[in-house]
Amino acid sequence: MIPQISPIELKQWLDEGMQFVLLDVRTDEEVDLCALPGHTHIPMNLIPMRYNELPDDVPIVVYCHHGIRSLHTAMYLAEAGFEQLYNLQGGIDAWSVLVDSEMPRY
């Protein structure tokens, strides 16, 4: 089971300067529209080839548009041996509604 983190909780982690990786698994085109600050971008389809770029000693918060692709990616990473995984509940869309109304929605 992959724990969910709400946009509000993620904002608190960012504000507190907590050490973690913010992994954006959306397409290049989606990232061009909007993205969270300080993210690492690896499109979902490239995760199997590039997950070795991710640290395994800090939490990883995975996000996408609505939270479905990121959940599947987090489950894949868990199978690959990563332990501190979180899925951004509602994805970047929920972030734009609950945290940053200036962020474009699509």
- Euclidean distance between the first and the last CA atom of the chain, given in angstroms as a whole number: 28
Gyration radius from the chain CA atoms? 13
Q: Which residues are catalytic?
A: 64
In angstroms, the CA 90 to CA 102 distance is 17
- Distance (Å, whole) CA 23 – CA 75: 14
Q: Residue 76 contacts by C-beta under 8 Å, 6 or more apart in sequence?
A: 47, 48, 51
